[in-house]
Amino acid sequence: MSEAEARTPATPREKTERLFFLDINDGRILSSAIDGTDLKLIIQRLGRSPDGILVDSENGWLYWTEMGTDYNAHDGSIERINLDGSNHVTLIPPGSTLVTPKQIQIDHDNGTLYWCDREGMRVMRANIDGSDIETLVQNGDSPQDSADIERWCVGIALDLPLGQIYWTQKGPPDAGLGRILRASIDIPEDETATRRSDIETLLDKLPEPIDLELDLATRTIYWTDRGNLPRGNTVNRASMDDIAATSEVVLEGLDEGIGLSLDLPNNRMFFTDIGGNLYSASLDGSGERELLHHAGSFTGIVYAVV
């Protein structure tokens, strides 16, 4: 290489919009263009039941949760891989502490991951390297407790400016016992994960609320619901400051809706269902498009510019 070539900076790689989503039946992490084309396989781990996913674009990492093969054992894990599918690392291994980890979020500034553990009946966090695991909410600790589906924690979202976490407890299938809850991101002083005085039930009597996303600029919460109509198999939204009074269905007709990701600058969202369908729509539900049809059994999804 000549001196002139050595002094010439490399041309920055042009960033592109991508969707990353999970196929729970075949254990696949998939990526596509935002119109559903250019479908690529990132990694496949048969039998591991991937559920929650997030992208750290700055570091070029993809995190995901796996519920494992036995939903009643400590068989869940949290994994990380480079966006190109290289350098797979298990951050929290099966057999350690997790049962069925679900939706996952990240606090970039503090280097912290947050997730719900469904059969574990917990809201949890850890450092991005998997260290310092902490339980923030604990709804039970015995097999008898775990048999009570009302205790199961599923979706999670972070309001970091106000120091709050939101999560869903889905309840039994189509029982109308699902809830959306909120609490401080830290356990109050002199309290424990099992005894917290700051937990608020913001909305109840839902079919089966699953994943959550927040638009902090407009103070709007979005969620999927996999239960039956009229309020299930839907994408919903409400004001974060008065969820019960402002809750509305913006889209319906999903085949057990699960994953949800917002692209706020472009006023759109992407969402998935267990039926293997991938969709896009405006945030108000208009302009819905089916991008993939019966292409697997989809759970978590994330939109990212990478």
Q: Is the pLDDT of residue 204 over 90?
A: yes
Q: pLDDT at position 68, please?
A: 94
Range with the lowest mean pLDDT among 13-17, 72-76, 165-169? 13-17
Which of the two residues, 7 and 75, has the higher pLDDT score?
A: 75
Task: Using a cut of 0.85, tell me whether the model's pTM lies above it.
Answer: yes
Question: How confident is the model over 88-113, as pLDDT tens digits?
Answer: 999 999 999 999 999 999 999 999 99
Q: pLDDT at position 2, please?
A: 54
Superfamily of domain 42-264+281-297: TolB, C-terminal domain (2.120.10.30)
Band (pLDDT 50/70/90 cuts) for residue 163 is very high
Question: How confident is the model over 11-35, as pLDDT tens digits?
Answer: 666 899 999 999 999 999 999 999 9
| Secondary structure of the chain in HEC code, one letter for each residue | CCHHHHHCCCCCCCCCEEEEEEECCCCEEEEECCCCCCCEEEEECCCCCEEEEEEECCCCEEEEEECCCCCCCCCCEEEEEECCCCCCEEEECCCCCCCCEEEEEEECCCCEEEEEECCCCEEEEEECCCCCCEEEEECCCCHHHHCCHHHCEEEEEEECCCCEEEEEECCCCCCCCEEEEEEECCCCCCCECCECCCCEEEEEEECCEEEEEEECCCCEEEEEECCCCCCCCEEEEEECCCHHHHCEEEEECCCCEEEEEEEHHHCEEEEEECCCCEEEEECCCCCCEEEECCCCCEEEEEEEEC
